Structure 1
Amino acid sequence: MSTPQVTVETHQNEFLPAGGRTVDAVVTVTQTGAVSAAPARGAAAAEVVMIDVSASMSGAKLRAAKEAAIAALGVIPDGVAFAIVAGDTEAWTVYPGRSRLATSSPANRAEARLAVQRLRTRGGTTIGAWLTLAADLFRRHGATINHAILLTDGANGESEKSFDRVLERCAGLFVCDSRGVGDGWVARDLIKIAEHLLGTASGITDPGELAADFVAMTRTAMGKTRADVRLRLWTPAGATIRFVKQVHPEIIDLTGRRRDTGARVGEYPIGAWGAESRDYHLNIDLEPHPVGQEVLAARVSVVHGDDVLGQSLVRAVWTDDLSSTTTINRQVAHYTNETELADAILEGTAAQKAGDLDRATLKLGRAVQLAAESGREDTAKLLAKVVDVVDERTGTVRLRKVAASIDAEMAAVASRKTQQVRPRPAD
């Protein structure tokens, strides 16, 4: 098959008014083609499935979790390393045991299925312990592409500081997709995992949908051909990078993950890649230049090891032409709204939990307004379960006196997924 090709495109309005400092750009990174399925085989790839077996998982949720794990086993190719981890307040390797990974084969997958069927519920929920064990398994095996699935139905019982320390230790070692099932999980826990471990976060209220989701996540992971890809940014003297965010397919703030690699050069981890396209929003503060002058605001490179896979430029041009400086780039406007929408929902639902009803009303009202403006009907429907909408145009809402807490969690986690917008021919 063909060698994977990477393209990097910049979407922006490069024109700034006299004295202007802020440059916004959306950078689209696309990988096409594939060498073969081989890079995700053998020692090159490893998969760990983490299943919550706390007491609240008993009944239909545990049965569905078992079915989902077994379904995921069915699509792990021969030669891929794998393990099944169970977790409550502790974590242990259900299969193959002895804190190691097995090599996928028909016989080993059959043994793993039997081990999964024997799972029973007990205890509470300490997600950090599960992630720590997964990290140890990946570290000992030494695969190139490491992927994990984490399923929980409840709130994490450890302190936020302890959880954050675990996530920092796991960051860069493996990608983790986090899932909540039922009605007791917390969106902020799942989002934290996705942000630190560069995965996806989602809530599933119907346990019957788990199996299809596990299969999809596993197949996607097995399609990755490059691990530890990074976004490298060079900026000129006097420039400050205010933020770097992945804005499609999910919102992940990468700003705090920068690693300086040279004079005015920093790298941001963007995880493992297959055939896919992602968008990144850059916001840069520049020293103003005279009207008519053009500068290079940033050089954006996608790198893998020592290889530069693709590159694009972000420009800044100072002008006194009002029509040029007031034009907002379509991609920048779209993702600015999407990010504000997601943040408003997360902040609003957190305020509601904390009893700050005025702030909750303000933030959730703004979310309703943004969802209406951007045509996010899916998000608007979820918000309508949390608030009574008086006027979506002005964001006037009333908090519902009786609302299922899961509706707020679903709205928060679903809003992190974005719709990609492509440039028009005239852009």
Structure 2
Amino acid sequence: MAANENPAGAPDFDVEVFQNRYLPLGGTEVHAVATVTATGAAPGTASGAAAGVGTGLAAEVILVDTSGSMDFPSSKLSSAKLATKAAIDSLREGTLFAVVAGTGMASMVYPTDERLVPLDAHTRREAKRAVDRLRARGGTAMGQWLLAARRLLEPYPQAIRHAILLTDGKDESETAADLTEAIERCQGVFTCDCRGVGTDWVVAELRQVASGLLGSLSMVADPADLIADFTEVIENAMGKAVADVSLRVRTPGSARVKFVKQVMPSIEDLTHRRTDSGTNIGDYPTGSWGAETRDYHICLEVEPGDLNDPVRVGVLSLVARGADGTETELVREGVFAEWTDDLDLFTRVNPKVQESTGVTEMSQQIQEGLEARREGDVDLATAKLRRALDLAEESGDEYTAKLIKNVVVEDPVTGTLKLRSDVSAAHEMELDTESVKTYRLRKTSAGTGAGARNPDSHG
């Protein structure tokens, strides 16, 4: 375990690395799960940042779909208005904010010109009045909405910058390439939580936005639930205290990174997001942090070593960057390997690593099963969802098992699985959306004894 002493206002970070350090002779893969915990966050401050413009260091843009489809039924737009006003009420005093209406273009709702304004009693009241005047019309071009948020948030690198995006439909007013380009341009500027209301939106599109911008994705099937959801999202954003944190992986010698994945509270493959910051050093973005815990699964490929000769094959650290580019190392921990001919040692599977591997496979099986179902490949879909159901039940994930059973039916005697013929769009989208969320499986029993965690605090 390793802890740190951070600048005033920043959370205290602690990391535990769980692994089985023992490999068979000739073994070349080292798996480790790093559990990172931030505590003592003071909302409204940011590590390594100077005082912000206005009265606070939080910056928020609310992107609300006002395309024509939001009027069918009309409860979607009316609920979106109420949710947006609830979000405004949840913003901390002094937060820099704006509300943007999304159609085939992005239009300022409040303020009327393209800028952020500090939240106070007056701007809160005026913003809510402006939201009441929203009307549904036009198409959907989410890339344009994101670029508007980028223009609004980019001038405030010292702030913790966040957006929430709500839509009810497909990204039909631009090309897939337009959306991809917009996401790439926004990366590193702000994080974005995405919400899809109803069942006419495309999970893959919103997942692309949320994943690319290190945010969450949820389905809000009933528009009446938007108020509670928006409030929770904003309260979570207001709890962030340090921005632009990266997981840094150093690989001494010939070791190299095979993959880096966040596996708790949700699954996110960060491997392709690597930025080289030196020889054999790679940074993987993790976004903003408040008081929270996350797990990261790191797999390293190494050259086989000598018998009973422990080797440090990697160093993990959390690094925060200030608005001026200065870096603060928040915490550091080593990853080790030792080759042995002791069967009992090298065949042990660390519970944390096993859990990580299981939830990742379950998510993959669900998504591949749903895709096969959409393409009409019944046999493949059934096999994939069978495997996902088995993994859910083995891990005690009753919630995901229930969602899977909304799209399949299991014979109680034979255990044979069949695809349901009457699956609702809501059930399929809910399973797809929830398949990457793993916070329900948070466990404290990560294992003890050899291979449970690293004994060295700094390696």
- TM-score, L = length of structure 2: 0.89
| 1:170 aligned onto 2:186 | yes
- Name the SS for the 2:151 alignment partner: helix
The structure whose RCO (Cα within 8 Å, separation 6+) is larger is 2
Letter in 1 for 2:88: L
2:358 counterpart letter in structure 1: N
The AA in structure 1 aligned to 2:425 is S
Identity of aligned residues (%): 43
Contact 1:9 1:28 survives alignment (8 Å): yes
2:436 to 403, 416, 420: 416
- 1:245 aligns with 261
Unaligned runs of 5+ in 1: none
CA–CA separation in structure 2 for the residues paired with 1:35 and 1:276: 12
For residue 304 of structure 1, what is the aligned residue in structure 2?
320
**Aligned residue runs from structure 1 range 4-403, under 5 A:** 4-35=11-42, 37-39=44-46, 42-58=55-71, 59-157=74-172, 158-305=174-321, 306-390=327-411, 396-403=416-423
Cα distance change, pair 255–18 in 1 and its aligned pair in 2 (3 A): same
Shift of 1:62: 1.0
Distance 2:448 2:225 in 1: 39
Q: Which amino acid aligns with 1:194?
A: A
CA RMSD of aligned residues (A): 1.9
Alpha-carbon separation, structure 2, partners of 1:128 and 1:378: 33
Cα distance between partner residues in 1 of 2:171 and 2:59:
25
User: How many angstroms does 1:51 deviate by?
Assistant: 0.9
User: In 1, Cα distance between the equivalents of 2:443 and 2:207?
Assistant: 23
CA distance in 2: counterparts of 1:133 and 1:75, whole angstroms? 22
Shift of 1:425: 5.1
Contact in 1 for aligned 2:17/2:35 (Cα 8 Å): yes
CA contact (8 A) 2:389 2:404 kept: yes
Contact 1:391 1:397 in 2 (8 A): no
Question: Partner amino acid for 1:367?
Answer: A
Tell me the amino acid that sits aligned with residue 9 of structure 1.
E
| Structure 1 counterpart SS, 2:154 | helix
Q: Secondary structure at the match of 1:304?
A: strand
SS in 2 for 1:230: strand
Q: Distance in 2 between matches of 1:285 and 1:42?
A: 48
3-state SS in 1 of match to 2:155 = helix
Verify the 8 A CA contact 1:46 1:143 in the aligned structure 2.
Answer: no
CA drift of 1:2 comes to 7.1
1:42 shift after superposition: 2.9
Supply the distance in 2 between the matched residues of 1:35 and 1:140 (Cα, whole angstroms). 23
* Contact 1:260 1:267 (C-alpha < 8 Å) held by counterparts: yes
Aligned residues of 1:369 and 1:392 also touching (Cα < 8 A): no
Aligned-residue offset at 1:297: 1.6
Alignment partners' CA distance in 1, 2:413 and 2:390: 5
How far apart are the structure 2 equivalents of 1:392 and 1:83? 57
Matched letter for residue 421 of structure 1: K
Q: Is the 8 A contact 1:26 1:282 kept in 2?
A: yes
Deviation, structure 1 residue 141: 4.3
Compared with structure 1, are the counterparts of its residues 393 and 34 closer, same or farther at alpha carbon in structure 2 (3 Å cutoff)? farther
Q: Match of 1:74, as an amino acid?
A: D
How has the CA–CA distance of structure 1 residues 227 and 331 changed in structure 2, closer, same or farther, with 3 Å as cutoff?
A: same
CA distance in 2: counterparts of 1:253 and 1:376, whole angstroms = 21
Distance (whole Å) between structure 2 residues aligned to residue 279 and residue 411 of structure 1: 22
Q: How many angstroms apart in 1 are the aligned matches of 2:291 and 2:92?
A: 18
SS in 2 for 1:74: helix
Shift of 1:355: 3.0
Checking the alignment, whether the CA contact within 8 Å between 1:334 and 1:421 is kept in structure 2 is no
- 1:333 to partner: Cα distance: 0.6
Once the two structures are overlaid, the 10-residue window that deviates more, 89-98 or 18-27, is 89-98
Amino acid at match of 2:432: A
Query: What amino acid sits opposite 1:55 in the alignment?
Result: G
Structure 1, residues 359-384: CA drift from partner, whole Å, max 9, x if none? 32222222122111111111111111
Rounded Cα–Cα distance in structure 1 between residues aligned with 2:331 and 2:346: 29
Deviation at 1:406, TM superposition (A): 2.2
- Residue 101 (structure 1) shift: 1.2
Give the conservation status (yes or no) of the 8 Å contact 1:178–1:199.
Answer: yes
Q: CA deviation at 1:56?
A: 1.9
1:82 alignment partner AA: F
Structure-2 separation of matches of 1:391 and 1:125: 45
Aligned residues: 426
SS at match of 2:206: helix
Partner of 2:5: none
Q: Distance in 1 between matches of 2:192 and 2:27?
A: 40
Give the AA of the match of 2:293.
S
